[in-house]
Amino acid sequence: MIIRISEEGQYLVPSSLFDELNVIDNRIVELVASGNEKEYKAELLNLLNCIRSNGKKLDDADIRESDVIVPPDDLTLKEAREIFTGDGLLEG
């Protein structure tokens, strides 16, 4: 699975990590809906760090279609309300 972190690059992430990422994604949706900015920021960092530590960063010249695009760590709660809705970024 190819995941792009906006403003950072693409990572090749094992599909076996999907369930764990989906759990984090769903928590982010709940935190954004409740307006809990502090915990939202922590979970967004958790999501990004999980991708970074378990994925292999692709060279910038290796352009592939992304399966998922994740926002950068400076995404505000207000901006997150437009992205983290419904099933979140990872549907499943």
90 domain residue, yes or no: no
15 domain residue, yes or no: yes
89 domain residue, yes or no: no
From residue 49, how far is each of 22, 33, 53, 57 by CA, in Å? 14, 22, 6, 12
Domain of residue 28, residue span: 2-83
pLDDT for 87 equals 80
Domain count, the chain: 1
91 domain residue, yes or no: no
Residue 88: is its pLDDT beyond 90?
A: no
The tens digit of pLDDT for each residue in 21-51 reads: 999 999 999 999 999 999 999 999 999 999 9
Place of tokens 């764990």: 20
37 domain residue, yes or no: yes
